[in-house]
Amino acid sequence: MQARVSFVVVSVVAASLLVGCKNEKETPASGAPEPPKSADPVKALDPELAEAVAAASANAKAAERPAAGTQEGGPPPNGIFPPGAADREAKVGAPPKITLGSEGAPPRQALSFVPKPGTRVAGTAVVELQQDPRQGGLPVELGVVFETQQPKGGGAGGAEATASAVPVVVRVTRAKVAIPGAPAEIERDVATLAGARITYELLPNGAGSGYAIDLGRRGDARLGDLLRSFADSIAVATIPFPDQPVGAGAYWMVASREGAFGLDLVTYRLVTVEQISPEGVTLRVDTKRYSAVPTLDLAGLPPEAPRTLLEFQSTGEGKVELASGAAFAKRSEQSALLAASLGAPGQARGMLELRTRSRISLGE
């Protein structure tokens, strides 16, 4: 039973690393996704995303990029930034950089979702991890409460509180397997997530930072990756907004130093306005991530597994619905893929793949 929970829910990394006794020059197994071979993996994913990424890069344009490993700025073709290059795109702890690509069609309006201390919203989330494309993951349903707290040093609201980063606490009130027929032991272990917390800070422009997880006193340590996946879903759905008014069709790029599963990654989010009205806005979010370091320091990798990254790919897509005046997204859904080719001289090459899916509904 213990191995079953570890395999399905938590230690998806160890189970997904397909390290075979093969020659280093051989290609990965057919069941693993082949890393992109194009000169620009972002362009292969989505031409519009490539255009926005290029615009967000201060030191590079698509037509002027040097060969892989030598370019000055911009996303690396193999998905791995050379030493020091990630800091030029997004420094650790720095606020997200917003680049507006288009203001969209009129009528336009300013997007301002100012967080107010003391806001409390309850809802549900369904999070699923899939470690093997040949079999489904285990969806887990969480009862959650999002609550904003008083900024440190702030008074009882007012201008000082509004201009400050507002602390947010997300509490898990219950947890269960979201499909019928799960063994009782798995149900009991998943239920220990009740009492877990996620904390972060929310800025007036919608940006979030400082995401941290706490499994609580009862939380099974093997469920840490599931909680991290939930925190990553919250981070992607927490959207910074441009200062300019925008209309339908507007899009902007958000570049930030935030990762998935605790990895050090540079994240680009292309945010597109699909619908907008005085009542709220519906956004499409396409995500592309690059490794800021040349190694994959992921909890759960077996000791014999190689850590050196050869190629890295992380993409995602989803939608976010926000109601005017709300501090949190009313609804969000997203799916994501993280794949990596690992190896080192004298070692067999391995392929890792993780897929995540999530849905969050608040205030319904």
In the chain, DSSP assigns E strands to: 97-102, 120-130, 138-148, 166-177, 197-202, 208-214, 251-256, 265-277, 280-291, 309-323, 331-342, 350-362
pLDDT score, position 35: 34
| Cβ proximity of 175 and 193 under 8 Å | yes
Q: Domain spans of the chain?
A: 16-62+74-362
CA distance 308 to 345: 10
3-state secondary structure of 163: helix
pLDDT score, position 153: 61
Query: Which helix (H) or strand (E) segment is 225 a member of?
Result: helix 224-237
Query: Which helix (H) or strand (E) segment is 89 a member of?
Result: helix 85-89
- What stretches in the chain show pLDDT beneath 70? 1-74, 114, 131-133, 153-163, 345-348
Picking from 1, 4, 5, the residue whose alpha carbon sits closest to that of residue 221 is 5
CA distance 240 to 151: 19
Which residue carries 């009528």 as its tokens? 107
| Cβ proximity of 242 and 110 under 8 Å | no
| Cβ proximity of 63 and 51 under 8 Å | no
CA distance 224 to 229: 9
| Cβ proximity of 214 and 205 under 8 Å | no
3-state secondary structure of 177: strand
Picking from 291, 305, 287, the residue whose alpha carbon sits closest to that of residue 348 is 305
Is the dihedral angle over the CA atoms 292, 295, 296, 300 positive or is it negative? negative
**At residue 157, what are phi and psi to the nearest 5 degrees?**
100, -155
| Cβ proximity of 300 and 14 under 8 Å | yes
pLDDT score, position 144: 98
Residue 83: count of CB within 10 angstroms of its CB: 9
| Cβ proximity of 193 and 172 under 8 Å | yes
Residues 99-124 pLDDT 10s = 999 999 999 999 877 677 888 999 99
CA distance 140 to 178: 5
Q: Which residues are within 8 A (CB) of 129 and not within 5 positions of it... i.e. 6 or more apart?
A: 9, 12, 137, 138, 225, 226, 229, 354, 355, 356
DSSP string, 323-354: ETT-SS-SEEEEEEEEEEEE--TTS--EEEEE
pLDDT score, position 195: 94
pLDDT score, position 223: 84
Give all strands of the β-sheet with 97-102 in edge-to-edge order: 97-102, 251-256, 265-277, 280-291, 309-323, 331-342, 350-362, 120-130, 138-148, 166-177, 197-202, 208-214
